[in-house]
Amino acid sequence: MDVATGQLTRGPLTEEELRRIDAYWRAANYLTAGQIYLLANPLLRQPLAPEHVKPRLLGHWGTGPGLNLLYAHANRAIVARDLDAIFITGPGHGGPAIVANTWLEGTYGERYPSVGRDAAGMAQLFRQFSFPGGIPSHVAAEVPGSIHEGGELGYSLMHAYGAAFDNPDLVVFCVIGDGEAETGPLAGSWLSNMYLNPARDGAVLPLLHLNGYKIAGPTILARIPEDDLRSMLDGFGYQPYFVAGDDPDQVHQLLAASMDRALDEIAAIQRAARTTGRVTRPRWPMLVVRTPKGWTGPSEVDGKRVAGTYRAHQVPIDEVRDNPAHLAELERWLRSYRPEELFDEAGAPVPAIADLPPRGDRRMSANPHANGGALLRDLVLPDFRRYAVSVDRPGRQMSQATHVLGGWLRDVIRANPDRFRLFGPDEVSSNELDQVFATTGRVFLGDSADRPEEDDSHLSPDGRVVEVLSEHLCQGWLEGYLLTGRHGVFTSYEAFVHIVDSMVNQHAKWLKVSRGVPWRRPLASLNYLLSSHVWRQDHNGFSHQDPGFIDHVVNKKAEVVRVYLPPDANTLLSIMDHCLRSRNYINVVVAGKQPAPSWLNMTDADLHCRRGAGIWQWASTDAGGEPDVVLACAGDVPTLETLAATDLIRQHLPDLKVRVVNVVDLMRLQPPSEHPHGLPDAEFDTIFTRDRPVVFAYHGYPWLIHRLTYRRTNHANLHVRGYKEEGTTTTPFDMVMLNDMDRYHLVIDVIDRVPGLGTSAAHLRQAMVDARQECRAYTRQYGEDAPQIRDWTWPY
């Protein structure tokens, strides 16, 4: 056998092994087609009749035979080498194929006892697929062994690498569809090998499946000269082995030989790195497998070619119940697998097939890495209180919240060297978290020889900071890392985290479904730390100003999402500690990186964070009575402006009773019927009153606050200021003025809304309008904010 040229001389499989693997493959193909078509008569012991066929034919056949082939061969390799391996299915629409394999392995029946390995179980297996009340069509969270639904294409390879990080003994087989390979995220994923350390991480074996088609058209990678494809993969640092054909025996031999060779090379790479201690970026092997789409399915239906074309993508023969010719064609197809040879009297797979997969936890469908919560160990978290900034009086000391957090994160990394990583698109330093580099580096296996350390700062093949300028990769790697039972934080610019909106959707869906799957154990939460936020894009301006990620995330299922807006350094410490202890959530934390006032000492900060929303008595003037107005705020910059506005009111309207409310946990605003963190109505009314004007300065788009509070008693009196898509490269105070969220405007809002104030405060109102003009003019003349803004501190 010459693998490089694909010329078959003699394969590695004995005749007996060849027969067995082919029988296993036929069984998996039969079970795949059976799920799509059959409602009854699962073993075809009677002639196929229309009523045996499902009324609605749903699902994807075309990818199935390729997935089954690769799964069978992965199983063979696991047994031969005692591998610890999982399988990631890029074409996740091939759900029935993967379910078929988990059924053959026995895991499916262990997880779902009514779907055991017998005739009744097979009947249920077929019936439930894409059937109301049954199971979904993709490799969803319900499928044992899956960490990747594959509904939204593009993320298979990044999930695979995320799973392999810090899992030195794991092999991740990763099937990539040739259509999927056209997506931006997958095209970027080839770069992942730059971050895989052969000594400390596991291995990924990419299996690029060129079945030639996506839904309706040919795929690019299947239609470029093979040499070009080879060059492309070679350029990305892979050693591709090509397997091609449509003769099953030949393909089995070639695939077995190629997989053996690839796994031998992986073992040699790892051995070399682990014994010599020299860690460089090796040329990792991968397979390119070119087999027909819908292989073994009907070759022609109604005079049109199906197998080997795009027509095989979904249901290759339709209208089976009403069209006798189609029914006959379906029966011929299903019988071509010779089910009577594959399953015994009871409907169980015959021993030659049942014995092919590995046993116990070595089965990819039972591997605990694919139920990451089962392996999850708590983080060792240093006491965040030790990292507090001292606050003698509110608002006097300045601190940089993310910088302070960086000290704590450094020690989190130090205490958890094998299960925590910090991911980011090259913004760890920019987000002021670089204290972490006192204990770790940026993982990087590219060429950095001959470069002075100060020009290539903090690079290391062992780094716990994972930086790549691709939000997709950060997100995908972190998801893979979390789904296999580890912990992490993704730090990003607030505006550009939107790039992964769609991936967040998918992860949120996964978490929601997992909660209802009894055997799935809870995972560490997906934590976002968003800094360089909308209000302080001093270097960048309008393109970098967008706080809408929060709006996006709150659309997701309430039990899955949490949003925190800590107003200063100590509250950020408390919130992050909470997030890293939490399970099964998506936590979004928005925090400042610029010097800003610290409002609360650690004890008060912690209490405030536990409350989630509360009255700041030290700033309010309504003690012992009802306020005339509530000034509410969420976010660091809105908090600053609110307190500065409170100061102005205290000076100029000393009789006005002001209550200052700060919201850290945004979901406190929703009623408890909508979100588990929601404040009960009675409590909400005590804080925000039932009838007083509330002027709310909010970090993001104002409408969100209305959306969250529309059912509250006092909603009609709620007036929200926030970002209204006005921005540019200007001073921090000009930014808030551009969006009418500045202290002067908040005072104007109070005057306009508190009944009876309008006329008596007319002079103050005019002074506020003038103050805005003066401040604006100052920025235009001097290029910075006016001293009364820059130097303001809370004076009480």
178 near Mg ion (CB under 5 A): yes
Window 199-218: residues binding Mg ion (CB under 5 A): 211
For Mg ion, the closer of residues 223 and 610 by Cβ is: 223
Q: Which does 153 bind (CB under 5 to 8 A by kind): Mg ion, ligand TPP, none?
A: ligand TPP
Least separation in angstroms between residue 297's CB and Mg ion is 14
Please name which of 634, 596, 589 lies closest in space to residue 616, comparing C-alpha atoms.
634
DSSP string, 632-656: EEESHHHHHHHHHHHHHHHHH-TTS
Q: Which does 499 bind (CB under 5 to 8 A by kind): Mg ion, ligand TPP, none?
A: none
Least separation in angstroms between residue 151's CB and ligand TPP is 6
94 near Mg ion (CB under 5 A): no
For ligand TPP, the closer of residues 270 and 314 by Cβ is: 314
Ranges assigned E (strand) in 17-113: 84-89
Q: Count Cβ neighbours within 10 Å for each residue of 498-533 and write b for 16 or more, e otherwise.
A: bbbeebbebbbbbbbbbeeeeebbbbbbbbbbbbbb
Q: Which does 93 bind (CB under 5 to 8 A by kind): ligand TPP, Mg ion, none?
A: ligand TPP
Q: Which does 154 bind (CB under 5 to 8 A by kind): ligand TPP, Mg ion, none?
A: ligand TPP
Token pair in block for residue 682: 């009675």
Least separation in angstroms between residue 626's CB and ligand TPP is 54
Please name which of 539, 506, 665 lies closest in space to residue 139, comparing C-alpha atoms.
506
Least separation in angstroms between residue 178's CB and Mg ion is 4
Least separation in angstroms between residue 30's CB and ligand TPP is 19
Task: Decide if 253 contacts 12 (C-beta within 8 A).
Answer: yes
Task: Decide if 20 contacts 14 (C-beta within 8 A).
Answer: no
Window 540-579: residues binding Mg ion (CB under 5 A): none
Residues making up the chain, counted from first to last: 796
For Mg ion, the closer of residues 179 and 480 by Cβ is: 179
For ligand TPP, the closer of residues 211 and 739 by Cβ is: 211
Please name which of 300, 310, 321, 303 lies closest in space to residue 61, comparing C-alpha atoms.
310
For ligand TPP, the closer of residues 314 and 739 by Cβ is: 314
- Kindly tell me which residue out of 12, 179, 285, 548 binds Mg ion, with binding defined by CB under 5 A: 179
| Contact positions vs ligand TPP (CB under 6 A) | 62-63, 91, 93, 151-154, 177-180, 183, 209, 211, 213-215, 219, 293, 313
Give the rounded distance of the alpha carbon of 568 from its chain centre: 27
Helix axes of 15-37 and 95-104: crossing angle, nearest 10 degrees: 120
Q: Which does 545 bind (CB under 5 to 8 A by kind): Mg ion, ligand TPP, none?
A: none
Least separation in angstroms between residue 229's CB and ligand TPP is 14
Instruction: Write down the number of H helices and E strands in the chain.
Output: 26, 22
Q: For residues 161, 162, 164 and 168, what is the CA-based torsion angle, rounded to 10 degrees?
A: 130
Residue whose tokens read 């994972």: 466
For ligand TPP, the closer of residues 110 and 182 by Cβ is: 182
Please name which of 81, 93, 104, 105 lies closest in space to residue 367, comparing C-alpha atoms.
105
Least separation in angstroms between residue 324's CB and ligand TPP is 29
For ligand TPP, the closer of residues 215 and 762 by Cβ is: 215
Least separation in angstroms between residue 255's CB and ligand TPP is 16
Least separation in angstroms between residue 212's CB and ligand TPP is 8
156 near Mg ion (CB under 5 A): no
Task: Decide if 598 contacts 391 (C-beta within 8 A).
Answer: yes
Stretch that binds Mg ion, among 49-57, 170-178, 396-404, 635-643 (CB under 5 A): 170-178
Least separation in angstroms between residue 180's CB and Mg ion is 8
Token pair in block for residue 637: 């910059």
In whole angstroms, give the CA distance from residue 597 to residue 790.
12
Q: Which does 701 bind (CB under 5 to 8 A by kind): Mg ion, ligand TPP, none?
A: none
For ligand TPP, the closer of residues 176 and 330 by Cβ is: 176
Q: Which does 311 bind (CB under 5 to 8 A by kind): ligand TPP, Mg ion, none?
A: none
Q: Which does 435 bind (CB under 5 to 8 A by kind): ligand TPP, Mg ion, none?
A: none
| Strand order across the beta sheet in which 465-467 lies | 459-460, 442-443, 465-467, 420-424, 487-493, 526-531, 586-590, 561-564
Query: Interface residues with Mg ion (CB under 5 A)?
Result: 177-179, 211
